[in-house]
């Protein structure tokens, strides 16, 4: 969601607070994505060996990244609804986090452009003076 200059800071903060509140309502979520797959068994007498046949399936494949590496797993039909709901909740979670981050960036940018703050220095006190860093 894009937040233009027409959104007041108060409205942005209210929208951010609502997005944060909605995170708690998501419940259990499962990272990754789901894909329908078909495969061929390789037996020459099987129906899947026929030209144009999709093969065996569909199977539900859950794909995610674990420790920086892609990982996939076939989901048994009895768990398809549960995993699908979890992945959809994860997608909503990520959408909410992106929205919160965008709002925070807009609000931070506005704070940085307020009078008294120029080029990343607060000109109103000791920390804004050269050598005034408190690190």
Can you give the pLDDT at residue 125? 47
pTM for this model (two decimals): 0.65
Cα distances from 134 to residues 109, 111, 114, 123, 130, in angstroms, run 22, 20, 22, 15, 11
**In the block, which residue shows the tokens 């061929």?**
40
How would you write the chain as a 3-class SS string?
A: CCCCCCCCHHHHHHHHHHHHHHHCCCCCCCCCEEEEEEECCCCCCCHHHCCCCCCEEEEEEEEEEECCEEEEEEECHHHHHHHHHHHHHHHHHHHHHHHHHHHHHHHHHHHHCCCCEECCEECCCHHHCCCCCCC
**Could you report the per-residue pLDDT of 32-71, keeping only the tens digit for each?**
999 999 999 999 999 999 999 999 989 999 999 999 999 9
């Amino acid at each position: 969601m894009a937040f233009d200059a027409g959104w007041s800071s108060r409205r942005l903060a209210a929208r951010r607070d609502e997005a944060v509140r909605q995170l708690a309502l998501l419940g259990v979520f499962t990272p990754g994505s789901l894909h329908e797959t078909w495969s061929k068994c390789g037996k020459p007498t099987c129906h899947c060996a026929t030209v144009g046949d999709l093969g065996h399936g569909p199977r539900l494949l859950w794909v995610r990244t674990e420790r920086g590496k892609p990982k996939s797993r076939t989901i048994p039909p009895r768990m398809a609804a549960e995993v699908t709901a979890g992945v959809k909740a994860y997608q909503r979670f990520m959408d909410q986090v992106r929205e919160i981050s965008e709002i925070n960036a807009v609000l931070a940018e506005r704070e940085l452009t307020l009078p008294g703050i120029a080029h990343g220095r607060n000109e109103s006190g000791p920390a804004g003076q050269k050598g005034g860093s408190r690190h």
